[in-house]
Amino acid sequence: MRLFRVTIFFLVLSTPVFSNIVFGQKRYVIDSLMQNLPASSDTSLARLYNAIAWEYRWFDLDSALKYVRLGEALSRQINFRDGLAQNQNFAGVIYFNRGDLSKAMDFFLNALQLSEQPPRNPVELGYALNNIGNVYKQQGALKQAIESMMRALQEFESLGDKRGIAYCCIRLAESYKAQKNYDAALMYAYRSLKLREDMGDKDGIQSIRILLGIIYSEIGDYDKALNFHHSTLESLRATNSHWGMATSLNNIAQIYLKQGRLDTALSTAQVCYNVAKGFSSKEKLMDISRTLGDIYAAKGDFANAYTYLKRAEMLKDSVLNEQNVRAVANMQALYDAQRRQNQIELLKKETEYQAFIRNSLIGTVLLLSVIAILAVSSYRQKKRAAAQYKAQNDSLIKLNALLAQERQRAEVERQRAEKASAFKTELLSIAAHDLKNPLQSILGFSMLILEEITERSLLADKIKAIQRAAERMLSLIKELLETAAIDSQKIQLKKQKTYLVDLLYRVLDANRLQAEMKLQQLGFEVLSPNAVVEIDADWMREVFENLVSNAIKFTPFGKHISVALSEREDYVRVEVRDEGQGLSAEDMPKLFGKFQRLSAQPTGNETSTGLGLSIAKQIVELHGGKIWAESEGPGKGATFIVELPKAQTDDAHATTLTVRA
């Protein structure tokens, strides 16, 4: 406690010295800004005027107003909207510090309007909204104050502007304290304190710590309140914040009074009184006089208690008189401004009425002249329009005749193309059919020769090569015949209701040997064993044979291939998944085209005609189904999916499966 008293004593003695130091610091900043005035361009000069006004606001409001007016005039002259928005915010703060809330609000509203115009200036918009909220707070309109400050906080948070966020948070803390919502007040106060500490803003840290001391004092946590006030006093002395020192000391004295530590409360309050006298603040002198009166009353010294309480009432009357004078001056200024505005509006209306009469007479004369001109022009235009119409009509008749000829020529070309396509399909079908029998003979004779000769001889290898080549050619011919049949629409589906699981088992059995030769695992996941579809089983077997054999061809040795059978509400789905080379984005558009070559290649020197998937797509679509492929990309495998309409029937009505051997 002795150390605290010594500290307080030192604070009082050192106040004049530090006052000169801080004043000198502010003058140094202003002088530095002044040196840049001659060399500045228009926009830079406008910002300099604003900056100088902002520094003067601490100790010379008249000089602050002088430079803020220079900044406003220049910004308007050069149409510098961002500089003008900043200027209006600064002007509002200066009038706010003078206690002229009406003028302050006018300037803040101007800044808000300028900042909202496109392109928006979110920084000045945030400061304008927070300043407007501060005016509402001073007027006791706390709900409107918090709404405006919250809007400002959102603007600064979207920018990541720490200084703006900290500024909003302390104003919100003050507003919530006034509402007695201490939880919210503490939350925003601590958030502002953390941001100020991160930025190293000593003035801001002092203000927030004073506020935290006041909040904790109001909620009865006196130990925390004293800690905040005591820890702040030294930094307040260093920055010569008379207002802050007086506020903290008065709060400390009131806390000691509540704790019954009357001697300490009295000595603290007396120091506070001297500090408040040093900067002639009637409001602070009124507060500390009331505190001293309460302390003396608690000590039983009613004479001194009466003296200080009477002094507090006298100061209160003086403060109220000053406030009333300012309020009357504000009302008079508002009245004068409104009267001038009304006079301007009246003069404007008279001018507009005279202009209306003059313009009406001129307009009547012009209208009559225009009507006459239009009448003559209309007659001439009608003659020209009639001639143009006849010429256009003749042109349209000729154009229609040409179009009819072109349509007839196009129809002849279309019929010729259809005949050529049909002839090509028929020729392809005949050629494939005529080649089929000789190839089957080649295959038959090669098998007979192999039975007669030694299996491991050179001749046997040659015959086997002939046999493989003949099998590949026979497979190609088979696919060409199927393509020709589909293209010529000669295919006739013989549909019957079939258990799809039976068909898939046969397809897998037929391909199992081929998979085992490549050490691949061939799996079958049956989720819907009773799925029934109405299909031509022979043709659909071709589809699934193609998908499974492709999966085997394009999957490396030792990998896994699976077939899954499931059903949904109105369709049956078959999925053939492999762990092969996958499909690239370039492969997808040409996957189901005829004679297409994709980036993936067979992994066991197998062959591919490029027709299988094209035939599969046409067969599936003839059954009213869909087929497509999915792949995450090269090297990640592929899944081919077939969906067929589900046959609505009981199990007892499903026909026994019959497929070609």
Q: Residue 7: what pLDDT?
A: 43
Instruction: With cut-offs at 50, 70 and 90, classify the pLDDT of residue 20.
Output: very low
Locate all alpha helices (DSSP H) within 78-121, ordered by sequence.
81-97, 101-116
**Boundary residue ending a domain (56, 85, 120):** 120
Burial 529-543, CB ≥16 within 10 A → b, else e? eebbbbbbbebbbbb
Q: Report whether pLDDT(9) > 50.
A: no
pLDDT value of residue 133 = 94
149 has pLDDT over 90: yes
Q: Cα separation of 275 and 10, whole Å?
A: 12
pLDDT > 70? residue 345:
no
Pairing relation of β-strands 521-526 and 560-567? Answer: parallel
Give percent above pLDDT 70 in the chain: 72
Task: Give the separation between CA 585 and CA 591, rounded to whole angstroms.
Answer: 10
Concatenating the DSSP letter of every residue in 477-509 gives HHHHHHHHHHHTT------EEEEHHHHHHHHHH
Mean pLDDT computed over 202-208: 85
Pick 545 or 60 by higher pLDDT: 545
- The CATH number that applies at residue 42 is 1.25.40
Instruction: Name the range with the highest mean pLDDT among 6-15, 58-67, 385-394, 411-420.
Output: 58-67
- What backbone phi and psi angles, to 5 degrees, belong to 575? -120, 130
Residue ending a domain, among 67, 97, 120, is 120
CA dihedral 597, 603, 609, 612 (to 10 degrees): -90
Nearest to 130, CA basis, from 181, 179, 96, 84:
96
The segment with the largest mean pLDDT, out of 177-186, 381-390, 583-592, is: 177-186
Looking at the predicted structure, is the pLDDT value of residue 4 above 50?
Answer: no
Residue 581, domain member (yes or no): yes
Would 459 be classed as within a structural domain?
A: no
Crossing angle of helices 42-56/81-97, nearest 10°? 10
pLDDT digits (tens, 9 = 90+) for 287-318: 888 999 899 999 898 888 888 888 888 887 77
CA 217 to chain centre: 43
Question: Which range scores top for mean pLDDT: 161-175, 475-489, 596-610?
Answer: 161-175
Give the pLDDT confidence score for residue 542 in this predicted structure. Answer: 87
Question: How many domains, in total, are found in the chain?
Answer: 2
Task: Name the range with the highest mean pLDDT among 5-9, 21-25, 263-267, 487-491.
Answer: 263-267
How far apart, in whole angstroms, are the C-alpha atoms of residue 48 and residue 39?
11
| Structure tokens, 126 | 């945030």
The predicted-structure confidence for 211-234, as pLDDT tens digits, reads as follows 999 999 999 999 998 888 888 887
pLDDT of residue 479: 58
CATH number, domain with residue 644? 3.30.565.10
pLDDT at 24 over 60: no
pLDDT in tens, 366-386: 777 778 787 777 777 877 777
Phi/psi of residue 160, nearest 5 degrees: 70, 30
Torsion sign over Cα 558, 559, 563, 564: positive
Rounded to the nearest 10°, the torsion over CA 279, 282, 286, 289 is 40
Is residue 539 very low, low, confident or very high in pLDDT (cuts 50, 70, 90)?
confident
Specify if 360 maps to a domain.
no
Residues 6+ apart with CB under 8 A from 33: 48, 51, 52, 55
Task: Look at residue 378 and tell me if it is in a domain.
Answer: no
d(CA 546, CA 206): 81
- In the predicted structure, residue 548 carries a pLDDT above the cut 90: yes
Let me know if residue 12 belongs to a domain: no
Place of tokens 């799996």: 523
Predicted local confidence at residue 344, as pLDDT: 43
Helix (H, G, I), strand (E, B) or coil at 238: helix
Among 120, 155, 171, give the residue marking a domain's end: 120
**Helices 262-278 & 242-259, crossing angle to 10 degrees?**
160
Nearest partner of 121 among 159, 75, 76, 150, judged by Cα:
159
Could you tell me if residue 658 is inside a domain? no
Confidence of residue 652 (pLDDT cuts 50, 70, 90): very low
Mean residue pLDDT across the chain: 79
The tally of CA atoms less than 13 A away on the side-chain side of residue 261 is 13
**pLDDT > 90 fraction of the chain, expressed in percent and rounded:** 31
CA distance linking residue 145 with residue 226, whole number of Å: 29
Residue 201 lies in a domain: no
Which of 151, 176, 174 minimizes the C-alpha distance to 164?
151
609 near 475, Cβ under 8 Å?
Answer: yes
Beta bridge partners of 562: 523, 577
Category of 635 on φ-ψ map: left (φ > 0), alpha (ψ -120 to 50) or beta: left
Give pLDDT tens digits for 423-432: 455 545 555 5
> Which of 156 and 468 is assigned the larger pLDDT?
156
Q: Which residues pair with 524 in a beta bridge?
A: 563
Domain limits for position 52 = 29-120
Q: Quick one: which H or E segment has residue 444?
A: helix 302-452
pLDDT at 358: 73
In a domain, 375, yes or no: no
Model's pTM, two decimal places?
Answer: 0.47
Residue with more model confidence, 260 or 365: 260
